[in-house]
Structure 1
Amino acid sequence: MGTTEAALRDLMVAGLAGDAGAHAALLRALVPLLRGFYRRRVRGGDDDIEDLVQETLIAVHTRRATWDPDRPFTAWLFAIARYKMVDQFRRHARLSPIEDADAIAAADDFEAETIARLDVDTLLEHVSPKQARMIRATRLDGLSVAEAAAAEGIGQSDVKISVHRGLKALVARVHGGTR
Structure 2
Amino acid sequence: MTGDADAKLRALMVLAQGGDKPAYRALLEVVNTQLSAYFRHRLKEDPASVDDLVQETLIAIHTKRSSYDARHAFGPWLYAIARYKLIDHYRRRRVRRTEPESAAGEVADETDDTRAAMARLDLEILLARLPAGQAEAIRRTKVEGLSVSEAASAMKISESLVKVNVHRGLKAASALLGLKQADKS
- If the TM-score is normalised by the length of the shorter chain, which range does it land in? 0.5 to 0.7
Kindly state the Cα deviation for residue 99 of structure 1 after the two structures are TM-superposed. 3.1
Q: Is 1:110 the counterpart of 2:110 in the alignment?
A: yes
1:38 aligned partner: 39
Kindly state the Cα deviation for residue 16 of structure 1 after the two structures are TM-superposed. 0.5
> In 2, are the aligned partners of 1:12 and 1:26 still within 8 Å (CA)?
yes
* Mapping 1:1-179, distance limit 5 Å: 4-95=5-96, 97=97, 99-101=99-101, 109-111=109-111
Code of the aligned partner of 2:20: D
* Larger CA Rg, structure 1 vs 2: 2
Q: 1:70 to 1:92 in 2, by over 3 A?
A: same
Kindly state the Cα deviation for residue 35 of structure 1 after the two structures are TM-superposed. 1.2
Kindly state the Cα deviation for residue 48 of structure 1 after the two structures are TM-superposed. 0.6
Q: 1:113 to 1:73 in 2, by over 3 A?
A: closer
Kindly state the Cα deviation for residue 93 of structure 1 after the two structures are TM-superposed. 1.4
Code of the aligned partner of 1:110: E
Q: 1:103 to 1:112 in 2, by over 3 A?
A: farther
- Cα separation, 2, equivalents of 1:37 and 1:98: 17
Paired-residue identity, %:
41
Code of the aligned partner of 2:110: F
- Cα separation, 2, equivalents of 1:16 and 1:70: 14
Greater RCO (CA < 8 Å, at least 6 residues apart): 1
- Cα separation, 2, equivalents of 1:112 and 1:40: 22
> In 1, are the aligned partners of 2:73 and 2:113 still within 8 Å (CA)?
no
Code of the aligned partner of 1:67: Y
Kindly state the Cα deviation for residue 37 of structure 1 after the two structures are TM-superposed. 1.1
Q: Deviations for 1:27-68, whole angstroms, at most 9, x for unmatched residues?
A: 111111111111222233332111111111110111000011
Q: Structure 1 residue runs of 4+, over 6 Å off?
A: none
Code of the aligned partner of 1:75: P
TM-score of the superposed pair, with normalisation by structure 2? 0.52
Q: Deviations for 1:107-126, whole angstroms, at most 9, x for unmatched residues?
A: xx522798xxxxxxxxxxxx
- Cα separation, 2, equivalents of 1:63 and 1:11: 15
TM-score of the superposed pair, with normalisation by structure 1? 0.54
Long gaps (5+) in structure 2: 115-185
